[in-house]
Every structure is written in structure tokens, then in C-alpha cells.
Amino acid sequence: MAITAVAVLWWWSGDDDPFARMSDEEILAAAHAFYESRPYFERPRPYSEIPAGLPDLRAETCGQCHAAIYEEWKISTHARAFRDDAQFMAELEKSSGDYDEHHPDDVSWMCLNCHTPMINQLERLVVGLENGEIGKPIYVDNPFFDPELQDDAISCATCHVQDGVVYGPRGDTDAPHPVALGEDLMNENNCVSCHQAEAHFPDQNLACFFTTGAEWERSPAAAAGQGCQDCHMPTVHRKVAEGFDVPERETRHHWFGGSLIPKHPDFEEEIAPLRAIFGSGASLSVVTDEESPSGYSVRVYNEFAGHLFPTGDPERHVDVVARIFDGEGELVGEDEVRIGSIYEWWPQIRLISDNRIEAGESLYLPLTGDWPEAVEVEVVAEKFRMHQEAFDYHDLEGRYVNSREFHRSRWRIDAEGATLLVLEDDFGRRDTLEP
Ligand code: HEC
Ligand code: HEC
Ligand code: HEC
Ligand code: HEC
Ligand code: HEC
């Protein structure tokens, strides 16, 4: 990572550099004090000592004993939130202040605080801002930096380790490292500390809008006491440490399945089996609809997500296309809808529209056109990480996967109404809506 011009100038401008004379502990304290003064979404996780009995905090080290959990986490998006994410790396470069004259601000330090979230993972720490501007961080080298841990991105230690203690759901297991009960580990606070941020920095033409936490709070899932972990970390009965004389326990998988669009073409094979475990957020069907000119619509029902469909990054969207064919197989109608939030990014960031679907609610795509008595309707739905313009702008072809089809079905509409002929989704090919 390149050091910004601003920081370099500051660093060498005076011969009286206060940080050069500080001990490692004093540097850490200065960084902690700075981060504490910022809103929560600009803070990394505090520095943690290495728990007694462990050589380091790396996931691979945890994986020597917690092998099954490690293998799951390794293919999760959390493990791939840094170098494996070509979109993130491209955006990080453009956020680092020395990319070109159009991007003079360095806001990369904020990105890293969530994508490589522990202070132990940061190459440089921020101890202040020049003139209080978020785009002008004052950096010092981090004496506690572990480069291999940085590559782990959102790692075991992010959720489980603090002050040299390993926090777990029990806190009383006989482990070769100190353990304690992690109160916030099991509830939504753990997830929401990263999955909820609404911040606008107009001077930097930067916005963070992802509100999964707030969306969940108003969902039927939350009302029913269902947290993020209940859907994203399904339960399993097994030993949590292999090679030890410990009982099988009721515990949780660590894949963190979401949209299940792989972050790189090479990851497709590993990700594919997870789709039948997690499924997608919405179910699609052709239904009668008084408000549709033809009397029929495609219903997109956010049946399974505990938040908006789609949630998260503002670029995420879903395209649904319905094609109507007559008895000869001729196309007689075509309708489509894009489900997502649409922003204008330049010259100012502005929300233009947002038709994402609340948990438990539906969006209807009316089927239009002049049809004969009996037709067949083909419905195809695809989810995207970003709009094609952004994909092209970041030059991601071959290095990133932008979308995946998650539903394809064929229906017959005749005097009897709408009947499903065949459906293919995350759960396979069949002739019923039931998975
Ligand atoms: C330290 C910050 C942090 C914490 C804590 C965190 N996440 Fe994440 N999560 C991220 C980031 C960053 C990504 C996206 C990485 C990327 O796309 O490069 C992500 C991705 C995901 C995805 C996958 C989205 C997709 O691409 O399909 C899911 C699902 C998810 N997180 C759920 C959770 C749950 C559930 C918890 C709590 C148990 C949690 N996260 C805790 C930062 C965090
Ligand atoms: C995004 C947060 C997050 C990350 C990253 C994460 N975990 Fe977990 N872990 C949890 C949560 C939440 C639980 C489940 C608590 C419960 O059972 O309700 C859990 C449970 C566990 C347990 C089970 C303890 C028991 O007795 O059931 C172990 C062991 C564990 N994690 C180890 C790891 C290891 C090793 C890694 C990295 C390879 C890892 N975790 C990564 C959040 C995380
Ligand atoms: C040398 C083997 C070993 C290593 C390395 C190791 N653990 Fe453990 N850990 C265990 C054993 C054994 C248990 C107890 C399991 C049981 O009783 O079911 C345990 C328990 C846990 C628990 C559950 C604690 C509780 O009581 O709720 C968590 C969480 C956990 N480890 C996380 C980690 C993390 C994160 C790392 C890496 C930073 C790690 N472990 C490294 C062996 C290890
Ligand atoms: C009732 C189950 C449920 C609950 C509760 C839930 N989710 Fe999800 N989540 C899903 C499903 C299903 C998807 C897949 C959506 C899709 O089809 O892409 C998803 C997708 C995601 C994604 C990926 C973005 C996307 O649109 O694909 C993230 C990130 C995420 N969830 C985070 C969270 C967080 C954080 C919480 C808690 C605040 C949470 N989820 C609660 C079911 C749930
Ligand atoms: C408050 C924590 C936080 C900060 C700060 C943050 N991110 Fe993220 N980022 C997330 C989470 C959580 C996700 C995953 C879920 C989602 O898609 O919303 C994510 C996902 C992403 C993705 C993947 C989007 C996708 O559709 O797969 C990219 C790229 C990204 N972030 C870039 C950045 C950049 C660049 C910055 C700094 C300008 C940044 N992030 C700052 C938490 C953060």
C-alpha cells in the first residue's frame, strides 16, 4: 500500500516528530484515543494481545484444532474481504489519495477498519486528521502489525478474541487458551457493528449506505426473535475441536452464506454446494393480479431474508425478466424490472429510487401485451453485485463475478389459471414450488 503524499510531507516536514520518540505502547494509546473519538463505523477493533498458549492470532493457527470451522470460514466472504476481493482492492486504490488528481482524499483507512478490522491487521495506524479532515489522516507505522493476519480479513479473532481472551458461546470449556462467555458474540450487535453504516462525506464524494441492521430491526424475523446468526450460521451437532477428548456440541456453521455470488471465478466450485443450504431471499411465482392489465403478474416475495431483498452495498440489484410465448413458441410479450436502490454518484451523491422489498413483502411485475387464450411464461431472475458501468469502470472482467441466475421457471396460463411447469433454483430442478 502506498503512503500518501500528505502523510509523507507531514512526517518529514519537522525534525520534531513527536511519534518518533514514543514507545510502541504510547503509539498504540495515541491511535486508540483517536479512534475512540470517531463514530463507531470509522473504528477498527482494538488491539488484542495474543491469548496465552497460542503463537499468534491467525486463522490457520485456530484451524489446527478447529479444522471444520476453519474450512468453512475459509470459503466465506468474510475471509475474502481483502485481497481476494478485486472490487474492494480497486476501490481501495482509488480511495488512497494518490491515485489521480480527481481523487485527492485518502479515505482508505476507513475501508480497512471494516475489511481488515483488527488493529493487529493494520500496517499503519491513524493518530489524527490534518485540519480535522477525514481525507487527510496522520499515519504512524503500527509496531504490532501482523501481515499474515491482515490477509485473513474478517477472521476468527475479529469475532472471538479481545484482550488476550477467546470469547465463546459457553465460556467454560476446557481449552488450551483462556475462554470467557461472549455476550455480544451471539446477538446481532456482533454483525451490526459492521453491517450498518449510514454516512455521507460530500467533500470526498463518498457515501457508506448499508443498513442491514436497521432493516432487520423492523422485520418479522426480528419480531420473532430470529437473529442474523440463525439464518447465516445454521446449527450443527459436532465436536468443535478435533483431536481433543471433547463432547459433540450444538454449535454453528461458519460459511456466512449470503448472495452466494463467488468473489472470483475460481471460487465457484467451492461456493456452489452452499446454495442448496442457504437458498435465496426471494421466491418467484406467476399469480393472478387484479391490478395487472392482463390479470397476471410475477410475484417476487421476500420470503426468506430478514432484511431488504437485496440488502447491503447500494450497487446490489436483482433483474427479473418475464417472456411470454404463444402456442407456436413466438414471443408475444416481455416485461422486466430491476429491484435495487439507484443512486446518482456524480457530481453529487443522490438517491434516485429504491424499490427493494421489505422482509415478508412482495413486489409485483405486471405481465402486459395482447395474448392468445393460452400462453407459456418464462421467468428468469438474476442477482448482481454491481451495475455494469461500475464493473467496466473498475476493469473487473475475469477477476470478479458480477452476477448469478438464481431462478428460472416456466408457467402455463390458460382458462384454468397459472400452472407451474418447471422450476430451477438454488434447490435444483422440479415441478413444484416446494424446495
Ligand atoms: C468486522 C466487520 C464485520 C463483522 C463483525 C461481520 N461482518 Fe459480515 N461482512 C463484512 C464485510 C466487509 C463483508 C463483505 C466482504 C466483501 O464483499 O469483500 C461481509 C460479508 C457478509 C456476508 C456475505 C455477503 C455476500 O457477499 O453474499 C454475510 C451473509 C455476512 N457478512 C453476515 C454477517 C453476520 C451474520 C455477522 C455476525 C455473526 C457478520 N457478518 C459480522 C464485515 C463484517
Ligand atoms: C463474523 C464473526 C465470526 C467469525 C469471523 C468466526 N466466528 Fe466462530 N462463532 C461466531 C458465532 C456467532 C458463534 C456461535 C455462537 C453460538 O453458538 O450461538 C461462533 C462459534 C464458534 C465456536 C463454537 C464454540 C462452541 O462451543 O459451540 C468455535 C470453536 C469458533 N466459533 C471458532 C472460530 C474459528 C476458529 C474461526 C475462524 C476460522 C471463527 N470462529 C470465525 C462468530 C464468528
Ligand atoms: C491447540 C488447539 C487449539 C487452538 C490452536 C485453538 N483452540 Fe479454541 N479450543 C480448543 C479446545 C480443545 C476447545 C474446547 C472445545 C470443547 O470443549 O468443545 C476450544 C474452545 C474454543 C472456543 C469455545 C469457547 C467457549 O468455552 O465458549 C472458541 C470460541 C475457540 N476455541 C476459538 C478459538 C480461536 C478463535 C482460536 C485462534 C485464535 C483458537 N480457538 C485456537 C483448542 C484450540
Ligand atoms: C430470516 C433469515 C435472515 C435473517 C434473520 C438475516 N438474514 Fe441476511 N440474508 C438472508 C438471505 C436468505 C439472504 C440471501 C439474499 C439473496 O438472495 O441474495 C441474505 C443476505 C444477506 C447479505 C448479502 C447481501 C445480499 O443482498 O445478498 C448480507 C450482508 C446479510 N444477509 C447480512 C445479514 C445481517 C447482518 C443480519 C442481521 C442484522 C441478517 N442478514 C439477518 C436471510 C436472513
Ligand atoms: C462500517 C464498516 C465498513 C466500512 C467503513 C467499509 N465497508 Fe465495505 N463492506 C462492509 C460490509 C458489511 C460489506 C458487505 C455487505 C454488503 O455488501 O453490504 C461491505 C462490502 C464491500 C464491497 C463488496 C460489495 C459487494 O457487492 O460484494 C466492496 C467493494 C467494499 N465494501 C468497498 C469498501 C470501500 C472502498 C470502503 C472505503 C471507502 C469500504 N468498503 C468501507 C463494511 C464496510
User: 54-107 pLDDT, tens per residue?
Assistant: 999 999 999 999 999 999 999 999 999 999 999 999 999 989 998 888 788 999
> How many other CB atoms are there within 10 angstroms of residue 91's CB atom?
15
Give the model's pLDDT for residue 202: 80
Q: What angle do CA 14, 17, 19 make, to 5 degrees?
A: 160
pLDDT computed for residue 372 by the predictor: 83
Ranges of residues in the chain whose predicted pLDDT is under 70: 1-16
- pLDDT score, position 203: 79
Closest CA to 47 of 140, 141, 129, 145: 145
Distance separating alpha carbons of residues 401 and 420, to the nearest angstrom? 30
Counting atoms of ligand 3 from 1, which one is nearest the CA of 167? 29
Measured distance CA(161)–CA(168) in Å, rounded: 9
How far, rounded to the nearest angstrom, does the alpha carbon of residue 427 sit from its chain's CA centroid? 22
Please give the number of the atom of ligand 3 that sits closest to the Cα of 185: 29
pLDDT value, residue 16: 66
Q: Residue 365 and residue 336: Cα distance in Å, rounded?
A: 7
The C-alpha cell that represents 147 in the structure block: 501481515
For 104-130, write each residue's pLDDT tens digit: 899 999 999 999 999 999 999 999 999
Ramachandran class of 14: left when φ > 0, alpha when ψ lies in -120 to 50, beta otherwise:
beta
| Angle at CA of residue 179, ends 173 and 180, nearest 5° | 105
Task: Compute the distance between CA of residue 302 and CA of residue 296 in angstroms, rounded to an integer.
Answer: 19
Our answer on whether the CB atom of 169 is closer than 6 Å to any ligand 3 atom is yes
Ligand 2 centroid to Cα of residue 375, in Å, is 51
Write out the three cell numbers for 135: 481525507
Distance (Å, whole) CA 347 – CA 389:
16
Compute the distance from residue 91 Cα to the ligand 2 centre, in Å: 29
Q: Identify whether 55 is preceded by a cis peptide bond (ω within 30 of 0).
A: no
* For the CA of 394, the nearest ligand: 5
Residue 198: left if φ>0, alpha if ψ -120 to 50, beta else—which one? beta
Q: What is the pLDDT of residue 15?
A: 52
- Closest C-alpha residue for ligand 2 atom 29: 240
Mutation choice for ligand 1 from 69, 255, 256, CB with most ligand atoms inside 8 A: 256
Q: What's at 274, amino acid-wise?
A: L
194 lines ligand 1 (CB under 6 A): yes
80 lines ligand 2 (CB under 6 A): no
Residue 14 burial (C-beta neighbours within 10 Å; 0-12, 13-18, 19+): exposed
The contacts of residue 261 (CB under 8 Å, 6+ apart) are: 383, 384, 385, 401, 402, 403, 404
Comparing C-alpha atoms, which of 282, 115, 302, 307 is closest to residue 211? 307
- Closest atom, ligand 4, to C-alpha of 217: 38
Nearest to 158, CA basis, from 241, 68, 41, 58: 58
Quick one: pLDDT at residue 344? Answer: 86
Q: Is the peptide bond before 310 cis (omega within 30 degrees of 0)?
A: yes
